[in-house]
Structure 1
Amino acid sequence: MTSTEPDARSSSTTSEGATSQPSGLPRVLSVTLTLAAVTITLLGLRQIGSFVGPVFLGLNLMLVAAPLFGWLVRIGMPRVVASISAVLAVYAFLVVFVLSLWWSISVLVNEIPAYASKFQELYLQLLDQLQAIGVSETMLTDQVASIDKQQIVGLATDLAKGIGDGVSIMAIVVTVLVFLSMDAIDIKRRIQLVRDAHPTVADALTRFGDGVRRYWVVTTVFGLIVAVIDVVALGIIGVPFALVWGVLSFVTNYVPNIGFVLGLVPPTLIALLDKGVASAIAVVVVYSVANFVVQAIIQPKYAGDAVGVTPTVSFLSLLLWAWVFGATGALLALPATLLLKAFLVDADPRGRWVNALIASRPGGGETPDPDVPEADEPDEDLVGVDGRADGENDSDDGSKPRG
């Protein structure tokens, strides 16, 4: 009896030691291979970004519309009709977005001719100022004549290409939304099947859908805040059509990189023509301060919290995905990072330690404890809503036990 105890302890120690030893590849090699795989994947996505970006944008729009789909199903609407209604709501948003942008530009184009005499006056004033420092009108004419016409053609070509790319993106988004609405009809059953096989993956996808919706809500709220600030400031300065420029500011808030400039130029130009240089400078200052404080300092903090990452990760995400997908990538930076986090970190218990470095609230809040497995949440799916209508059987959504 005594002789067998050391063997038992030795066996137990050996078993515990074996359990504590890392299995598979060394950690350094595993991390290196993972980084290499991610790099290759990003390079591949960059090559097909003109296709993947709009498709992912369509997915984001459907995720935002998912609560509407779930609510319509719960009140008894057939799932097909609810799905069609949700995608029509997305189309309505896109139409309002485009029409608002078009309305603002139309107001600018219609008002510019009324300021023709003011243009002439400003031009003469500019000539007087330049002549005071030794720059004559002849020198300006020579400089204009020396401009390479090929550069102008290149700029016009780039502008036309940008407009064409925008039209192509909208066409892909509109088309992919049709197919996503079809898939949304039985998405509940599909996610339940995923949950049965890989609960952690299903939980990660659920958190991804929730995070995407919170991100777009935050973006919309802060865009509205900036728009209100702009309207109030323009009203105080006395710039005509302040509400129009506020709407333009809100709409261009969704446009990456150049959105701020698109929203700034029209009111600045109208302020210059109607009120003078001082008012134009005041518009530029107000817009710049509001944009910097709200959208460059405050918004990234809340946007990062919405998707569960730190402000630094939020900023780096913007740089990374803008490089991969261009302007669309800048627009979808945080949702794309959230998707990457869902598959590489949240879905793998061995990788959840990364949350301690990148999560906005590690150990709580949006980031679950990596050592505590998530409980099954049968009322959630990829879009984070209960797609089951009242009185619908479990077998209808795939939760019935299968052999």
Structure 2
Amino acid sequence: MTDQRVLPRALVVLLCAAGAVVTLAGIREIGSIIGPVLLALVLVLAVSPVRTRLRDRGAPGWALVAIPLAIVLLVLLGMVAILTVAVAQMAALAPTYDAQFNQLVAEAQQQAARFGFGTKQMNEAINSFDPGKIFALAQGFVSGLLGVFSGLVLIIVLLLAMCLDAQSFSKILAMGATRRPLLIEALNNFGHKTRRYLLVSTGFGLVCSALDVAALWILGVPLPLLWGVLALITNYIPNVGFVLGLIPPALLALLEGGPKTMIFVIIAYILINFVVQSLIQPKFLGDAVGLSTTVTFLSLILWTFLLGPLGALLAIPLSLLTRALLIDSDPDGDWAAALVSGDVPDDGRPGTEKKPGGDQGKNPSPVR
């Protein structure tokens, strides 16, 4: 028998880490191309049930391409229009509150002096606070998204190409189900989880946005509809999206109605977010995402670093795709799946965890 030398585990880990760093650096370098491609993929995947229903009802071939494409373009162009209006209105709104801000600074200095904190450092800290910076932060985030969507020609071409290839791609995956069953099952599971995540997040995001708009309108905060749309968009950003959607209206409430109005806005947003997204939404979404809180937060940081604001919006779908390709398609990846999902099997052994998407031994259904 010949000796089979096995590489040391530490060396394997280092080589894998080096390969990951090179891959991620490459993704970051071509982010302007990868971002629109991944966006188009998620959008086409989101409307794939429409194409399936049309095909089952015997719709002609052109309808299988035109109708899903029209739905995606309607959503995409609507988002571009909303973001364009948001950038313009935020740019025009910030300079109009200079007088209110100066008054708030004077009141803050008086309160600080009353409590014995009227030092030079305190005054400098108060004077250094500029509401325009916070508006610039929100405007920069929205502008970053708009910059991604500005390459509409590339995105539309990608959407058209993916819609044209969707049916043939489904047939190819069906052919590969017998040769690569775990890979096809993982991709099918990725598509199902992504669609469910987008559907549930959109539905409850609309509910939260409507309630936010109503609360802002009652409190007299300017541009309530704009902030409601911003809340809907940031709803797709895990963990920190709620805070990003809260900062601009809270600051505007401070400048418009004073600290009391700002506190009411913060309380309203927290209550709405807690009831809808923390109590009700998890019952509908359940464990569809299959990512632990820590992994979700780390993936948000990673994808935002690689792709910018678009990476923040697509953090969950992109993490699901990464899990499908690297973990769920691996016959020995059960322990890693348990690690990233945080779900421990009943007997406590990761090696016996059930594969996602169906029972063991069943033939996986192709991605459609």
- Tell me if TM exceeds 0.5: yes
Question: Which structure's CA Rg is the greater one?
Answer: 1
1:174 and 2:153 correspond: no
What is the aligned-residue RMSD (CA, Å)? Answer: 4.3
User: Among residues 207, 212, 235, which one is paired with 2:189 in the alignment?
Assistant: 207
Other-structure match for 1:80: 62
Decide whether the 8 Å contact of 2:183 with 2:325 is kept in 1.
Answer: yes
The one-letter code matched in structure 2 to 1:375 is: N
The one-letter code matched in structure 2 to 1:228 is: A
User: Among residues 88, 92, 97, which one is paired with 2:74 in the alignment?
Assistant: 92
Q: Distance in 1 between matches of 2:332 and 2:42?
A: 28
Other-structure match for 1:375: 363
Other-structure match for 1:12: none
Q: Distance in 2 between matches of 1:382 and 1:305?
A: 20
User: Among residues 277, 284, 291, which one is paired with 1:309 in the alignment?
Assistant: 291
- Name the SS of the counterpart of 1:350 in structure 2: coil
CA spacing shift, 1:230–1:120, aligned 2, 3 Å: same
5+ residue gaps, structure 2, are: 346-352
Q: Kindly report which structure 2 residues correspond to 1:131-146, keeping only aligned pairs within 5 A, or say none.
A: 133=113
Q: Kindly report which structure 2 residues correspond to 1:210-289, keeping only aligned pairs within 5 A, or say none.
A: 210-239=192-221, 242-254=224-236, 260=242, 263-264=245-246, 267-268=249-250, 271-272=253-254, 274-287=256-269
- Name the SS of the counterpart of 1:234 in structure 2: helix
Decide whether the 8 Å contact of 1:271 with 1:279 is kept in 2.
Answer: yes
- Name the SS of the counterpart of 2:333 in structure 1: helix
Q: Distance in 2 between matches of 1:187 and 1:317?
A: 28
1:322 and 2:304 correspond: yes
The one-letter code matched in structure 2 to 1:219 is: S
- Name the SS of the counterpart of 1:309 in structure 2: coil
- Name the SS of the counterpart of 1:305 in structure 2: coil
Can you list the C-alpha shifts for 1:255-274, whole angstroms capped at 9, x where unaligned?
A: 68986566445534553455
User: Among residues 332, 352, 359, which one is paired with 1:350 in the alignment?
Assistant: 332
Can you list the C-alpha shifts for 1:174-216, whole angstroms capped at 9, x where unaligned?
A: 3311211111132222112222432222222111111111221
1:69 and 2:54 correspond: no
CA spacing shift, 1:25–1:83, aligned 2, 3 Å: farther
Q: Kindly report which structure 2 residues correspond to 1:379-394, keeping only aligned pairs within 5 A, or say none.
A: 381-383=366-368
1:43 and 2:33 correspond: no
CA spacing shift, 1:366–1:351, aligned 2, 3 Å: closer
Other-structure match for 2:349: none
- Higher relative contact order (CA closer than 8 Å, sequence separation 6+): 1
Q: CA deviation at 1:58?
A: 0.9
1:333 and 2:315 correspond: yes
With the length of structure 1 as denominator, give the TM-score of the two structures. Answer: 0.68
Decide whether the 8 Å contact of 1:205 with 1:382 is kept in 2.
Answer: yes
How many residues get paired?
342
CA spacing shift, 1:348–1:308, aligned 2, 3 Å: same
CA spacing shift, 1:236–1:27, aligned 2, 3 Å: farther
CA spacing shift, 1:106–1:357, aligned 2, 3 Å: closer
Q: Which moved more, 1:84-93 or 1:199-208?
A: 199-208
Q: Percent identity?
A: 36
User: Among residues 198, 201, 204, which one is paired with 2:180 in the alignment?
Assistant: 198
Q: Distance in 1 between matches of 2:197 and 2:49?
A: 15
Q: Distance in 1 between matches of 2:36 and 2:171?
A: 26
Can you list the C-alpha shifts for 1:353-383, whole angstroms capped at 9, x where unaligned?
A: 32232335553584656xx334243xxx323
Decide whether the 8 Å contact of 1:64 with 1:216 is kept in 2.
Answer: yes
Q: CA deviation at 1:93?
A: 0.9
